[in-house]
Amino acid sequence: MAYDLISLSNDYQDVGSGLIGELPDAMDEIFFFQMLKTTFGLKIIRHTPFLGKKIKKVALCGGSGSFLTGKAMAKGADIYISADFKYHEFFDANDRILIADIGHWESEQYTTDLLIDVLQAKFPTFAVLKSGVKTNVVNYFTGEEK
């Protein structure tokens, strides 16, 4: 019997589903939400009650990330931004962290640009094209539509 062993190296062993970082200066919750709304082009943000604290440490997971709420709290995040939280999962915050559910597509919209950067760096002679098709099937009725 012959075997062929192939080493599987992972250049991204420290990369996980989410990320955490700190703002240069702590921000008021309302001001942070206004910035979040502008940056991600949001019409609405579902969230837990404001805690009356400044936001300095921010945790983020694109897509459905409620499974990382506990990790965000354990790392001392002031806010956890993700999507697709079910009603009862908002209770997991337990007044210890602010949860902001910004929408699945909205939280992943910049991922294609990151992937393009990685592909172009790895394959400089390969043509990478980004689709102009918006695939977000979720819409929000705000009453401002005409």
pTM of the model: 0.85
Q: Which residue has the higher pLDDT, 74 or 13?
A: 74
Domain boundaries defined on the chain: 19-108
Please state the length of the chain. Answer: 146
> What is the model's pLDDT at position 21?
95
pLDDT tens digits for range 106-140 = 999 998 999 999 999 999 998 998 888 888 999 98
pLDDT tens digits for range 19-75 = 999 999 999 999 999 999 999 999 999 999 999 999 999 999 999 999 999 999 999
CA distance 94 to 19: 21
pLDDT at residue 17 above 90?
A: no
> What is the model's pLDDT at position 77?
98
Helices (H), the chain: 29-40, 69-74, 104-108, 111-122
CA nearest neighbour of 40 among 90, 103, 97 = 103
pLDDT at residue 15 above 80?
A: no
**CATH superfamily ID and name for 19-108:** NIF3 (NGG1p interacting factor 3)-like (3.40.1390.30)
